[in-house]
């Protein structure tokens, strides 16, 4: 899943693809590099990020979706927590809704997904983008993720979403400390046992726990553009432990890493 942020303030690539031409060019580059899904976001979910009105968010993403569905058959995902934006994106040609709140913020997203027959990614998160990094860590992150995602699944199915349309995401970085993020990656295979039958998506690309882990010589972190190798390491481990979809900024490097992991995993069967 290649990331296409059409936002002015995303933590890693904010402002780079805000024009329609730049967004389309970047999407075409990711497709050429091997992406299977393009995930378009019109509101930053970075720590401390503000809420964008649904009308403005739709205005950012809908023209890009409409242009891409004319250019490619690669599925388009809309990264949103708002049912109004989900509806507009689905009408424009998106076929997946990626909800970082797992239906906590606006459960009517489930209604829009069910009506359209789209897929949905249900992610675990705590708090909101404005508060998540100030929350105290939970005692048992594995149990909290399993419990919260189970509630999201129940809500989704109760509102008409088919089980086979659901993908789960443990939400790396959303209300977890660095150690808990790494625990979720290291124990992803256990989480898949607790929540059987669902594909799992992992999004670690350029996230702050990588910068904090790799910092040295008195640094508190390293900048997002310096986190590629750390990102690839986390993706490789996640795929080895059962991740089915990886969400990444650097598509070519990620595709190569995943191909190697798949080749190694094939020798363990």
| pLDDT attached to residue 14 | 46
Q: What is the DSSP letter of 200?
A: B
The mean per-residue pLDDT over the stretch 91-100 comes to: 98
Going by pLDDT thresholds of 50, 70 and 90, the confidence category of residue 8 is: confident
| pLDDT attached to residue 264 | 95
| pLDDT attached to residue 47 | 64
**Long-range CB contacts (within 8 A, 24+) of 21-26:** 23/64, 24/64, 24/67, 24/68, 24/71
Q: pTM, whole model, 2 decimals?
A: 0.93
CATH hierarchy code of domain 2-204: 3.20.20.20
Q: What is the pLDDT of residues 144-159, one digit of tens each?
A: 999 999 999 999 999 9
Q: Using CA atoms, how far apart are residues 109 and 87, in angstroms rounded to an integer?
A: 8
Share of the chain above pLDDT 70, in %: 94
| pLDDT attached to residue 130 | 81
Q: For the chain, what is the mean pLDDT?
A: 93
Q: What is the pLDDT of residues 16-36, one digit of tens each?
A: 667 899 999 999 999 999 999
Q: Using CA atoms, how far apart are residues 214 and 249, in angstroms rounded to an integer?
A: 19
Catalytic residues, which ones? 207, 247
Q: Using CA atoms, how far apart are residues 145 and 128, in angstroms rounded to an integer?
A: 16
What are the residue ranges spanned by the domains of the chain?
A: 2-204
- In this predicted structure, the answer to whether residue 15 has a pLDDT above a threshold of 60 is no
- CB distance 60 to 7 below 8 Å: yes
| pLDDT attached to residue 49 | 61
- In this predicted structure, the answer to whether residue 13 has a pLDDT above a threshold of 60 is no
The mean per-residue pLDDT over the stretch 68-81 comes to: 97
Structure token pair of residue 198: 């669902």
The mean per-residue pLDDT over the stretch 232-254 comes to: 97
């Amino acid at each position: 899943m290649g990331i296409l942020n059409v936002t002015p303030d995303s933590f890693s690539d904010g402002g780079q693809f805000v024009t329609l031409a730049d967004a389309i060019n970047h999407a075409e580059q990711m497709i050429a590099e091997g992406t299977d899904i393009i995930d378009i976001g019109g509101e930053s979910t970075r720590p401390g990020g503000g809420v964008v009105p649904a009308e403005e968010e739709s205005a950012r993403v809908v023209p890009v979706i409409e242009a891409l569905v004319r250019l490619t058959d690669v599925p388009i995902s809309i990264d949103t927590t708002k049912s109004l934006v989900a509806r507009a994106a689905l009408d424009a040609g998106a076929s997946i809704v990626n909800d970082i709140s797992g239906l906590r913020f606006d459960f009517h997203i489930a209604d829009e997904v069910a009506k359209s027959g789209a897929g949905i990614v249900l992610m675990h998160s705590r708090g909101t983008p404005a508060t998540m990094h100030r929350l105290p860590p939970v005692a048992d992150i594995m149990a909290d993720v399993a419990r919260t995602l189970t509630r999201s699944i129940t809500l989704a199915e109760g509102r008409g979403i088919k089980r086979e349309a659901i993908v789960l995401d443990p939400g790396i970085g959303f209300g977890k400390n660095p150690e808990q993020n790494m625990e979720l990656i290291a124990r992803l295979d256990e989480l898949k046992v607790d929540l059987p039958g669902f594909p799992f998506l992992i999004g670690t690309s350029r996230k702050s726990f990588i910068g904090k882990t790799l910092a040295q010589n008195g640094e508190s972190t390293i900048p997002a553009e310096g986190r590629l190798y750390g990102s690839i390491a986390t993706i490789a481990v996640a795929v080895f432990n059962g991740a089915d979809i990886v969400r990444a900024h650097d598509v070519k490097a990620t595709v190569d890493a995943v191909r190697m992991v798949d080749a190694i995993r094939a020798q363990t069967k």
